[in-house]
Amino acid sequence: MESATSKYRIGDAVLVAAENPTGNPRTPRYIRGKRGVISAVHGLLENVRDHRGIHKPLYTVRFDLSEVSSCDDQDSVWVDVHEEWLSSLPPEERNY
Amino acid sequence: MSGKHNHKAFEGHMHDFEAHIRAVEEDLEYYRAKRFEPRIIYLIRRGVVTFSDLLKARVALKRSNQFFKLKRPQGKNIEARVRYLEEWLDEYVKGIALVSARAVEAMDMVTEDNRKERGDYDDFFKIKKKEHHGTLEERMVNVEQDLKDYQELLEVFVQALIGRGWSTREQLQQRWQQLHEERPWAGGVIVAKAWTDPAFKQALLSTGREALREMGVHQGKVGKLVVVENTDKIHNVIVCTLCSCYPYDILGDTPWWYKHESYRTKIVQNPRACMREMFGLEVPAGQEIRVYDSTSDVRYFVLPQRPGGTEGMSEKELAKLVTVDSLIGAGYALDPRQQEEAEKLGATSEAPRVRPD
């Protein structure tokens, strides 16, 4: 069900949109325009307590800490991002 | 401490009155400006309740009809007064839960409406929080006055809802009683079971809520649940940089710092420094820190590592070692010696505060 509705798969390199696309507003600023890797595919989620309707498929995207902040520790930040915010990153533009 | 799970590095133990009052101040302003007043404004915009309704309800309000009835402080010493303010805050938060979306049908409001109304996406809508200055004594007097004022508005709002026929006194009274029922804290129970039952742990890590349902843990449905396991190689830590998302339907409310700008900014900028400065945790160099930012429909908590020296302990004993901080990744589960010390200092393992929708 998840793979049927979701465009990306675990391991895909993605770029987060820099500008706000229409749709879910909950993408924090610090990852906009940043490169990450799909680390979990959640698909279409219902969350009636939080919002009406169902948003685009959801992913957990892993970012190197150094990609999203000025700190270069070998740590990482994992953020949940909806599909309309993501685009595929060509292999030569990957950061890993 | 009433309604609190009390192993909190950031708040300290009961003898640290300053830290306790700071926690009350921060939580009180959070609940007023982020959870209660945006709701009134939302309903006023839609005519569900009007300013006139509030004025009329205030005039008609009789003491016998009030939901809030607070006992006097148990003594004049500072500890008794601090406890009193904490208990009062608990009541205020329960009062907000009393009139949450679930309780009152007219409040056709989802969390996303509240986020818009309280300015999560637009500073224009933010309700200003009060700043706190002065000596500890002055701050205690101020926070007591604030509690009185805020509680009065909440009481009037409840009466206005009844006055308009959006809910009945009986319905609200029933819910008020439910909100005061004591429940064991699920956090300790879940983690202790995961430490002792490998099949359950596997199910918890792979299916989240489903595993909890089978275990009979009371839960709501605030998003998909993902549990992340801390190991020798990975230290997970949870944040919501956009607001304060957390599986509160299972675990109760977070400590106040989880909702505070300083934590929400710093943990994604420099996690190691944040862990060191805010929580006194030195994460070893060989351990990767993974910060989970719960920005959407997934809610996270951390499965902390089982402390050494706990071989042969029962699930019930193990549950006492689990702290609220350890489920966020801002602390470790206590070892038995630390737990003993914490108990001596008056910390208990009661459930954290309920968080209204």
Give the model confidence (pLDDT) of B289-344 as tens digits: 999 999 999 999 999 999 999 999 999 999 999 999 999 999 999 999 998 888 88
Give the CB-side neighbour count of residue B3, counting CA atoms within 13 A. Answer: 23
Cβ neighbours of residue A44 under 8 Å, at least 6 residues apart?
A: A5, A54, A55, A56, A57, A58
Tell me how close the Cα of B256 comes to any Cα of chain A, in angstroms. Answer: 21
On whether the CB atoms of residues B100 and B163 are closer than 8 A, the answer is no
Question: In angstroms, rounded to a whole number, what is the distance separating the alpha carbons of residues A65 and B289?
Answer: 9
Domain-by-domain residue ranges, chain B?
17-179, 186-344
End-to-end CA distance of chain B: 24
Rounded to an integer, the average pLDDT of B224-250 is: 95
Query: What is the SS3 assignment for A86?
Result: strand
CATH class of A2-93: mainly beta
Instruction: Indicate the pairing of strand A58-64 with strand A86-88.
Output: unpaired
Q: What tokens were used for A34?
A: 């940043």
**What pLDDT sits at residue B348?**
58
Model pTM score: 0.89
Helix, strand, coil percent values for chain B (each to nearest 5): 50, 5, 40
- Token pair 């977070």 is found at B254
Domain-by-domain residue ranges, chain A?
2-93
Q: Which residues of B touch A (CB under 8 A)?
A: 110-112, 121, 220-224, 226, 241-242, 268-273, 288-298, 357
Q: A51–B112: do the CB atoms touch at under 8 Å? A: yes
**What pLDDT sits at residue B13?**
53
**What pLDDT sits at residue B8?**
42
Domain B186-344 in CATH 3.30.300.30: no
Give the model confidence (pLDDT) of B128-159 as tens digits: 999 999 999 999 999 999 999 999 999 999 99
On whether the CB atoms of residues B256 and B30 are closer than 8 A, the answer is yes
Rounded to an integer, the average pLDDT of A18-32 is: 90
B240 counts as catalytic = yes
Residue B9 pLDDT grade (very low, low, confident, very high; cuts 50, 70, 90): very low
